[in-house]
Amino acid sequence: MSAPTQAPPAAVTAGGPPAPTTRVGRNRTAGAALGLLAWIVGILFVLPMLWMLLTSFHSEGDAATNPPSLAAPLTLDGYRDFFGVGGGASPWPALANSATASICSTVLVLLLAMPAAYALSIRPVKRWTDVLFFFLSTKMLPLVAGLLPIYLFAKNTGFLDNVWLLVILYTSMNLPIAVWMMQSFLAEVPVSLIEAAQIDGARLPTVLARVVAPVAGPGIAATALICFIFSWNEMLFARVLTGVVAQTSPVFLTGFITSQGLFLAKVCAASLVISLPVLAAGFAAQDKLVQGLSLGAVK
Amino acid sequence: MTTHTTTPPAPASGERRPAPPQKLRAWVTRAPLLPALVFLIIVTQLPMVATVVISLFDWNALYPQARSFDGFANYAEVLGDAELRKSVLTTIVLTVVVVLVSLVLGLLLALLLDRKFRGRAAVRTMLIAPFLLVPVAAALLWKHVLYNPEYGLINGVLNAVWSLFGGDAPQPDWVAEMPLAAVEVSLIWQWTPFMMLILLAGLQSRPPEMIEAARVDGAGTWHIFRYLTLPHLRRYLELGVLLGSIYIVQNFDAVFTITSGGLGTANLPYTIYQTFYQGHEYGLASAAGVLVVLGSLIIATFALRVVSSLFREEARS
């Protein structure tokens, strides 16, 4: 909040009052202090995760000491344990289920949301804002309220413990967000550009590929990453609707809730490995993250 | 797909053959919208209707024969049940505390990050990281790695610090002694980055000329914050509160993982899950679900209003 310290110092001497040097000096100190404070807070926030990373590389014995042992020797035992090398449940089926549910639902979301966003921005239907807000309103209803009928439906049709049921549900969960985000990205494509292409005789597929895609492409990619994150994270539906066959990674993690004995390194390794796709997708989509999370309301 | 047949009022009699080109064009414009719309209505709205219907039945899955229409008896039971009423209160406390604390922290962090300093991008990345942990993983991290009374990091650090002075450190059992606060802290840690991102976007959309002009006129840092920045941020603060509330009211993962709904931390989603999944009381669970929906509708109405005002503002600019 202090004066812009990045202002070139030359500008100050160019005819300012004789006092400014001290003021700029003070501001610069204050600026440096605030920068340092930001660093400290940032490190504090990320500290639990760094500790988790370190613990995941400790042996179970070193992970559970009090006071904590910082300099204990590093080992991959936690990861070996998690991947079931020495027996125990393998996480691979759960990881594969999560990947199927997240990737397939994201593809489905894109297939449904792209044409919808087109009809809400480039060639808008009448009362398109009402339609847009209808999409948003479905996102505001708590999912848990619809869980029981979906469970009963799945039970009676044999879809219980089937990953494709999750694909359908995650698609509906993310569709409103995707429509909102894409609408705002497609709206950035200048209409004049599209019209010019059409006058030149380009047909719709060409217009989409040559004019719309280059402008809206990064936004569409970010939308996909955010849908992927939400699907990957989801636990309540997955827990109720899946069992041994179709369980996803977060459900696999719930197995650690009541664990006894020495398992800290393993739980840290498991949490990190399972969070890795989300961390990667999140950092890749960092710049568009707010826009997605605020349903396109903030740019 | 049925909308096709119902919406257009029967075309003027006689002139059926040459389909009215205007109407046809309207449908061509609408066509790309329909798959998404129909899909969403079937998957999200139908279950809600079913929930309302089930909520009117006395239905325990363990006694399927005894299923009978019960009117609003389930609602009376939900509203009269002390435990369910308590979970309503827990939901409100949890949501208000988490949203407000992460909003204030998020605002402070956004103000820090709004300035240029060495390594700003790195600090921003560090701050976002907690939000990008799978929620169950984050809850496990707090429950086992940080809160554990014997070997958790918090008590470990307390011990290490106290031993420097040769004393005995207090070693509280965090989850057992302050269960709701334990859940809240873990959620605040995850949601502060979310608030920070929204508010940072708000700060960076301030017209810089305005601030410059105020500074030239001799306004101090506090005055600029109070009379220029804060009013500009109002919308973004509202948006953060409302979106945060929508997500936190629905929170299930943290409560389920850290306390398993015990020790007075069961919020509504957890209670509904328990009533239906463990208690098999389908009618009761649905009535509670309908009540949650009604509560969310109130928040959602405000949220939609804020979003639409931001939306219109953007359309103008």
CB contact under 8 A, B201 and A286: no
Contacts of A143 in chain B (CB under 8 A): 250
Q: What is the pLDDT of residues B83-97, one digit of tens each?
A: 888 888 898 899 999
Q: Note if the bond before A67 is cis, omega within 30 degrees.
A: yes
CA dist A274 and A278 (Å) reads 8
Range 6-45 of A in CB contact (< 8 A) with B: 6, 31-32, 34-35, 37-39, 41-43, 45
Q: What is the pLDDT of residue A273?
A: 94
CA dist B64 and A153 (Å) reads 16
Q: Which amino acid is at B96?
A: V
Q: Note if the bond before A190 is cis, omega within 30 degrees.
A: no
Range 142-161 of A in CB contact (< 8 A) with B: 142-153
Residue B57 backbone dihedrals phi, psi, to 5 degrees: -110, 145
Contacts of B114 in chain A (CB under 8 A): 1
Per DSSP, the three-state class of B14 is coil
The DSSP symbol for A141 reads S
Q: Which distant-in-sequence residues (6+ apart) come within 8 Å of B123 by Cβ?
A: A38, A39, A41, A42, B113
Residue B253 backbone dihedrals phi, psi, to 5 degrees: -60, -45
Closest Cα of chain A to B191: distance in Å? Answer: 11
CA dist B188 and B175 (Å) reads 16
Q: Which distant-in-sequence residues (6+ apart) come within 8 Å of A195 by Cβ?
A: none
Tell whether the torsion through CA atoms of A23, A29, A35 and A41 is positive or negative: negative
Give the closest of B32, B126, B202 to A119, CB-based.
B32
Exposure on the CB side of residue A13, measured as CA atoms within 13 A: 3
With contact defined as beta carbons under 8 Å apart, do B289 and B55 qualify? yes
Q: How many CB atoms sit inside 10 A of residue A120's CB? A: 26
Q: What is the pLDDT of residue A175?
A: 92
Give the closest of A1, A142, A150 to B250, CB-based.
A142
Domain range annotation of chain A: 9-82, 92-293
- Residue B239: pLDDT band by 50, 70, 90 thresholds? confident
Domain range annotation of chain B: 1-54, 76-316
pTM of the model as a whole: 0.84
- Taking only the tens of pLDDT, chain A with its 299 residues reads 444 444 444 443 444 444 445 556 667 788 788 888 999 999 999 999 999 999 899 888 788 777 778 888 888 888 888 888 777 788 899 999 999 999 999 999 999 998 898 888 888 888 888 888 888 888 777 778 888 889 989 988 988 889 999 999 999 999 988 898 888 888 888 888 888 888 888 777 788 778 887 888 888 888 898 899 999 999 999 999 988 888 999 999 998 888 776 788 889 999 999 999 999 988 888 877 777 777 666 66
Contacts of B236 in chain A (CB under 8 A): 298
Q: What is the pLDDT of residues B261-307, one digit of tens each?
A: 788 888 888 988 888 888 888 888 888 888 888 887 887 787 778 77
The DSSP symbol for A1 reads -
- Residue B19: pLDDT band by 50, 70, 90 thresholds? low
Give strand pairing partners of A107: none
CB contact under 8 A, A125 and B30: yes
Q: What is the pLDDT of residue B181?
A: 92
Closest Cα of chain B to A87: distance in Å? Answer: 22
Exposed e or buried b per residue across B165-183, where buried means at least 16 C-beta atoms within 10 angstroms of its C-beta:
eeeebebeebbeeebbebb
Contacts of B159 in chain A (CB under 8 A): 66-67
Q: How many CB atoms sit inside 10 A of residue A245's CB? A: 11
CB contact under 8 A, A119 and B123: no
CA dist A151 and A143 (Å) reads 12
Give the pLDDT mean for B99-125: 91
DSSP string, A182-232: HHHHHTTS-HHHHHHHHHTT--HHHHIIIIIHHHHHHHHHHHHHHHHHHHH
- Write down the CATH superfamily of domain B76-316: MetI-like (1.10.3720.10)
Is CATH 3.50.50.60 what the domain over A92-293 is classified as, yes or no?
Answer: no
Between vectors from CA A99 to CA A93 and to CA A103, what angle results, nearest 5°? 155
CA dist B33 and A185 (Å) reads 17
Contacts of B134 in chain A (CB under 8 A): 232-233, 249-250, 253, 271, 274-275, 278
CA dist B7 and B38 (Å) reads 14
Q: What is the pLDDT of residues A199-222, one digit of tens each?
A: 888 777 788 778 887 888 888 888
If you measure CA to CA, which chain B residue comes closest to A258? B257
Q: What is the pLDDT of residue A16?
A: 41
Q: Which residue has the tokens 């890795």?
A: A276
